Amino acid sequence: MTTSSWSPGRSTEWHWIERFREQFDVCGVRPGEPAVVLCETASRPVLVETARLALGALGAQVAVVELTTPPNRGPVPIRSTGASVALQGNQAAVAACAAAGFVADCTVEGLLHAPELDTILQGGARVLMVSNEHPEVFDRLPHDPDLRPRVEAGVALLEGAGTMHLSSPHGTDLTVRLDGAVRAGSYGWTTEPGTIAHWPGGLVLCFPAAGTTDGRLVMAPGDVNLTFKQYVRSPVALVVEADYVVAVEGDGLDAELFRSYLAAWGDREAYAVSHVGWGMNPACRWDALPLYDKGDINGTELRAFAGNALYSTGANEVAGRFTRGHFDLPLRHHTVTLDGRPVVVDGHLQPPLTP
């Protein structure tokens, strides 16, 4: 049985406000700056209230824009997509965000892959996607100024490479050709107009171009299926050909659930690669998942723990693919190389990416 230090009917804590204030300050929020807290009716109320008070403590001119969460028409529950559907093209809400200097994104799924994001960023807003986590998660992950130069070093290595390769003792042998890929990194804050970051941060990844990913990806016990918010208990192997999972191998329940969820969409694009990369944040914990109820967290911490290899299926704008189906799969004990140069070895970051 898990316990929680916060319940939906309870107000925020002062130390949570202080933690948010610190993160927003790093994002350059200044007195008098127009700031928007973007949320929806299903947003975690404590995150909305904490963000509002933290921005007020910095002297920002704060507006809370709340949207009605649309119904999920199925066919299955949707979790952790990074593609909020709350805006639904609402021009008034989009205009409010685009006119702001800073947006604290407290929508449930986040704006990272939302169709309205480009319009908001073109207005010059700095958007910080506050992951839908229990506030204690942010307490445990203090601001780390060293994370930015290390993430930027990882992105630079990725930008200079032509091929990424993933391998593991369990049988992973996956190649991503990087021609045409978009490379990116997040360290948990953003200071430049027209940019977005997610918090918690600590990721380096690429969105591969169409037809560039092939091989075999093997999930072993202890790897994480973040869509299901659970650890893998029995091996699951994905056979990937020209970006698409063409077979899900495995005899256990994990493989059966994986096959069932993908098939439920009736959409070939749900089988395609979304992004591939690795985690950079030494403060993030692989073993945090059992300490929270599923409704308490979004799991961004597990995407970012240092040395994981992250493989995701679903939407990939770079390859022109759009779907609501999505799996985020942080993998342990993997080796990641760029043109043969190791950046992660058996789950451990390599120089110059080490803390």
Distance (Å, rounded) from C-alpha 171 to C-alpha 226?
Answer: 21
Between the two ends of the chain, the Cα-to-Cα distance in Å is 35
Q: What was the pLDDT predicted at 211?
A: 97
Phi, psi of 217 (to 5 degrees): -120, 125
Closest CA to 273 of 237, 315, 308: 315
Closest CA to 27 of 204, 192, 202: 192
Residue 308 per-residue DSSP state: -
- What residues in the chain have per-residue pLDDT under 50? 1-9
Q: Which two tokens stand for residue 175?
A: 């190649």
Q: What was the pLDDT predicted at 69?
A: 95
Measured in residues, the chain has a length of 355
Cβ neighbours of residue 52 closer than 8 Å, sequence gap 6 or more? 37, 62, 64
Q: What was the pLDDT predicted at 6?
A: 44
Longest C-alpha distance within the chain, in Å? 59
Question: Is 141:283 a contact under the CB 8 Å cutoff?
Answer: yes
- Single-letter residue type at 272: A
Closest CA to 199 of 128, 270, 145, 150: 128
Distance (Å, rounded) from C-alpha 297 to C-alpha 157?
Answer: 31
Task: Tally Cβ neighbours within 10 Å of residue 218.
Answer: 23
Cβ neighbours of residue 106 closer than 8 Å, sequence gap 6 or more? 37, 38, 39, 43, 44, 47, 48, 51, 130, 132
Task: Tally Cβ neighbours within 10 Å of residue 175.
Answer: 16
**Angle 91-322-248 (CA atoms, 0-180°, nearest 5)?**
150
Closest CA to 199 of 159, 276, 142: 142
The number of C-alpha atoms within 13 Å of 165 and in the hemisphere containing its C-beta is: 13
E strand residue ranges, 41-101 = 61-67
Phi, psi of 203 (to 5 degrees): -140, 145
Predicted model pTM: 0.92
Closest CA to 185 of 142, 151, 234: 151
**305 DSSP β-pair partners:** 281
Distance (Å, rounded) from C-alpha 137 to C-alpha 96?
Answer: 29
- Single-letter residue type at 89: G
- Set out the domains of the chain in order of their start, with CATH numbers: 14-140 (3.40.50.2300), 147-186+199-349 (no CATH)
Distance (Å, rounded) from C-alpha 197 to C-alpha 38?
Answer: 15
- Does the N-terminal peptide bond of residue 135 adopt cis geometry, omega within 30 degrees of 0? no
What does the pLDDT look like over 194-213, one tens digit per residue? 999 999 999 999 999 999 99
DSSP tally for the chain: helices H, then strands E = 8, 20
